[in-house]
Amino acid sequence: MVLAPTLSACGSTALLTDVVLSQPVLQPSGAGETLAIRYVVGREALVSVALVAADGTTYPLRRDQRRMPSGEPYTLQFDGTAPTDDPVIRRRALPGGTYRVVLAATGVDGSRETVELPLEIVGDERQPPSIDGLVAAPTTISPNADGIDDVSEITFSVPVTTTVDLVVTGPDGTVYPFISGEELEPANQRFVWNGRTVDGFLLGDGAYRYTVRVRDGLGNVVERGGEITIADGGQPSATITYSTMAPQALMLGEVLTVTMRVVNDGDVPIRTYGPASGYEYTTDDVYSSIEDGAFTARSGGFWRIGVDWDANSGGGARRYPYRWAITPRPPEAWRIPFVEDVLLPGEEALVVGRIRVRQPETRMGFYVGLIQDGVGFFQDRTGRTIIHIGF
């Protein structure tokens, strides 16, 4: 333990007393070694702590921190690193050598006291790690579940084992942690950001700063970042407002007509695709097998309305085997004619579906539902109607 002599002016309480280093030598190895710098403040003061190398280079550890008088010592844990003014290397392990630990206190009356203690740091200088090839793509995302630029991939590599933090800072300065304390091996890294906080809250439109911060075993901290813009973000939502089925009694081989009305009650467009309203299925069909597979389920972002029946025990593609596009426009007027369209916020679509009944049952319970491919059924078993079939 290293102690400094107590300094006090005659007739007054000293600003700094009982200044102590818990040990005179620090040998960082990456195992978390630290030493404690302890001091007692006798009067209210601004306290600064710095290390001064043999060549005169000063490494500030604390700058003008207000301290109130206390009988208990203040403690600063020193791990052999110091902050820097470098925008990339935020904290650096100090090279081995002889240093002076300098504590300076300035009282409210302007008086000043300084205490110095010797310290030796043992070890070779190690260069800080690097964050190589940092890229975010795309740099503008529209997280609205339409399957187009909903996420950005943040990629980079590190040359040594490090611990990484990744945060996103909003336009108002709010910091949203994304990755915290994850250990990375030397390799290419990939993180996907979907415009949401870790608890799933969708952030508003605007420019966001992402920051990757890595720390090696000796405490070197390196930081780099970039910008991702959120534009046209929102939560898709649609509701079946009406459905009817007719006739409710028919002969085997006749057509059941299902009339459905859907409104986009969300704040973003909904993508959809065929077959178009009016398409006729048979009960032997599945949407994925008609028209040479043209309407097989696509990856997330697409919505359709479908019809199913009680006795259909199939899963996967067999759920809601009869599906139609949700749009008020004919295929030739779709956003991409005959391929896909969008249902705009507030827009309503009347969809007519036809099913030729070949199922040899006398009584079938049909119902309708809303499907988002690869996500789920947002309305399920709506408007269930019993249809009687004669032979």
> Tell me, what CATH number does 359's domain have?
2.60.40.10
- Looking at the structure, tell me whether residues 91 and 193 fall in a common domain: no
Name the residue among 256, 362, 379 with its Cα closest to residue 311. 362
Residue 58 lies in a domain: yes
- Looking at the structure, tell me whether residues 250 and 373 fall in a common domain: yes
Query: For the residues 124-133, what does the mean pLDDT come to?
Result: 90
Domain enclosing residue 291, as ranges: 238-390
Cα separation of 82 and 51, whole Å? 9
Looking up residue 40, the CATH number of its domain turns out to be 2.60.40.2550
The answer to which of 13-17, 164-168, 261-265, 279-283 has the lowest mean pLDDT is 13-17
- Looking at the structure, tell me whether residues 67 and 172 fall in a common domain: no
Number of domain units in the chain: 3
**Among 121, 141, 157, where does a domain finish?**
121
- Looking at the structure, tell me whether residues 45 and 102 fall in a common domain: yes
**For 178, left (φ over 0), alpha (ψ -120 to 50), or beta?**
alpha
Half-sphere CA count of 290, side-chain side, radius 13 A: 19
What is the pLDDT at residue 12?
62
Structure tokens of 251?
């002969």
- Looking at the structure, tell me whether residues 226 and 243 fall in a common domain: no
- Looking at the structure, tell me whether residues 100 and 194 fall in a common domain: no
**Among 230, 255, 284, where does a domain finish?**
230
What is the pLDDT at residue 126?
80
- Looking at the structure, tell me whether residues 370 and 257 fall in a common domain: yes
Residue 127 lies in a domain: no
What is the pLDDT at residue 8?
44
Residue 35 lies in a domain: yes
Cα separation of 146 and 219, whole Å? 43
- Looking at the structure, tell me whether residues 9 and 109 fall in a common domain: yes
* pTM, 2 dp: 0.79
- Looking at the structure, tell me whether residues 244 and 196 fall in a common domain: no
| pLDDT above 60 (res 9) | no
Three-state DSSP at 303 gives strand
Binning pLDDT at 50, 70 and 90, where does residue 287 land? Answer: very high
- Looking at the structure, tell me whether residues 108 and 6 fall in a common domain: yes
What is the pLDDT at residue 10?
42
- Looking at the structure, tell me whether residues 179 and 96 fall in a common domain: no
What is the pLDDT at residue 2?
64
Residue 126 lies in a domain: no
What is the pLDDT at residue 352?
99
Strands 376-390 vs 249-251: parallel, antiparallel or unpaired: parallel
